[in-house]
């Protein structure tokens, strides 16, 4: 046993030396990871110590460590506030809409682009679909406010020409969630399709050739070759999407939430946290909201990963 232990120790040491040699051999590529590592250390890991604010009665003058502990009092207050459950429900409803309609959109776009044989036309469509991703929601928010305006917007101009009453889409509770979902899909569908297009390029073309010899048309090839080839990527992206159900796009909603009349359907956890934490300066309460949402997201990821692994054996781990 001592001999085996010594051999295992020697093998482990040798692997570490080989790994270090590999890092040194590609030292310039390794250095490229440093900015990413610094980013995660500074903006992701360092702020974790601030979680304790959720269990304290935070006072700015006393700081985090000087503020007194109050245990779970912030969470008791959180679960007893009616406004929290309203924004919690709004977040879930909007996120479910985005999942149902937004998740398949980049998959469908990738499948359609994969069927285009004219390369110039294909690249043009890709470029046009990617562009909205690089435009800030601050800019897009102003554009959509004008575009959907009841007096100046082209959509309402068409409605007026047809003899219909104009609709203030961003101030009408019946339309606001629809606007959020459609604008979110429009902005991100092209960029999100990239990962599926990359996965499609890895499918063996001989499979398509064999299917063509067997008489399969385009639809059958897509159904029996393309979609099964995308299954691992779709599964992983679905896990992340379900994990993000409790989260929302603050930039989008904050810039489109211009009327108090739609707060009942459009106010979500991120805008609620912003208002409670930075506007009303209830830092402990806002931190408790953020911690609660992150815990729910973590549970959703664990559950979705477990279910998908049982169904198709694919998962994050």
pLDDT value for 5:
54
pLDDT value for 59:
84
pLDDT, average across residues 92-103: 93
With beta carbons less than 8 A apart as the criterion, state whether 174 and 262 touch: no
User: For residue 100, what are the domain limits?
Assistant: 79-312
Q: How far is CA 219 from the centre of its chain?
A: 30
212, part of any domain = yes
42, part of any domain = no
Number of domains in the chain: 1
246, part of any domain = yes
Collect all residues with Cβ–Cβ distance below 8 Å to 248 and sequence separation of at least 6: 91, 94, 95, 268, 269, 270
* Cα separation, 265 vs 185, whole angstroms: 19
297, part of any domain = yes
60, part of any domain = no
pTM summary value: 0.83
Distance between start and end Cα atoms, the chain: 33
6, part of any domain = no
With beta carbons less than 8 A apart as the criterion, state whether 297 and 291 touch: no
16, part of any domain = no
269, part of any domain = yes
- Tens digits of residue pLDDT in 169-189: 988 899 999 999 999 999 999
pLDDT value for 202:
84
pLDDT, average across residues 217-232: 85
pLDDT, average across residues 153-175: 89
Q: How many CA atoms lie within 13 A of 297 on its CB side?
A: 18
CATH code of 194's domain: 1.10.3720.10
């Amino acid at each position: 046993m001592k001999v085996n232990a010594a051999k295992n120790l020697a093998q482990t040491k040798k692997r570490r030396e080989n790994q270090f040699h590999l890092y040194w051999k590609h030292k310039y590529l390794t250095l490229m990871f440093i900015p990413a590592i610094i980013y995660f250390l500074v903006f992701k890991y360092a702020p974790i110590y601030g979680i304790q604010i959720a269990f304290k009665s935070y006072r700015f003058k006393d700081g985090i460590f000087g503020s007194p502990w109050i245990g779970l009092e912030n969470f008791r207050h959180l679960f007893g506030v009616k406004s929290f459950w309203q924004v919690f429900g709004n977040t879930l409803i909007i996120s479910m809409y985005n999942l149902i309609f937004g998740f398949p959109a980049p998959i469908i776009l990738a499948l359609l682009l994969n069927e285009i044989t004219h390369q110039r036309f294909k690249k043009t469509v890709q470029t046009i679909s990617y562009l909205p991703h690089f435009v800030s929601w601050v800019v897009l928010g102003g554009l959509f406010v004008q575009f959907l305006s009841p007096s100046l917007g082209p959509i309402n101009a068409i409605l007026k020409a047809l003899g219909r009453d104009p609709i203030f889409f961003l101030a009408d509770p019946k339309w606001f969630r629809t606007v959020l979902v459609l604008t979110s899909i429009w902005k991100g569908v092209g960029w999100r399709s990239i990962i599926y297009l990359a996965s499609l390029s890895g499918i063996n073309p001989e499979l398509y050739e064999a299917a063509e010899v067997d008489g399969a048309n385009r639809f059958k090839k897509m159904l029996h070759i393309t979609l099964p080839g995308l299954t691992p990527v779709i599964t992983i992206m679905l896990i992340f999407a379900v994990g993000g159900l409790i989260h929302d796009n603050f930039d989008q909603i904050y810039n489109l939430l211009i009327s108090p009349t739609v707060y009942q359907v459009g106010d979500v956890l991120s805008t609620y946290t912003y208002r409670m934490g930075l506007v009303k300066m209830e830092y402990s309460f806002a931190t408790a909201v953020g911690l609660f949402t992150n815990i729910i997201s973590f549970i959703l990821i664990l559950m979705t990963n477990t279910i998908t692994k049982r169904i198709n054996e694919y998962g994050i781990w």
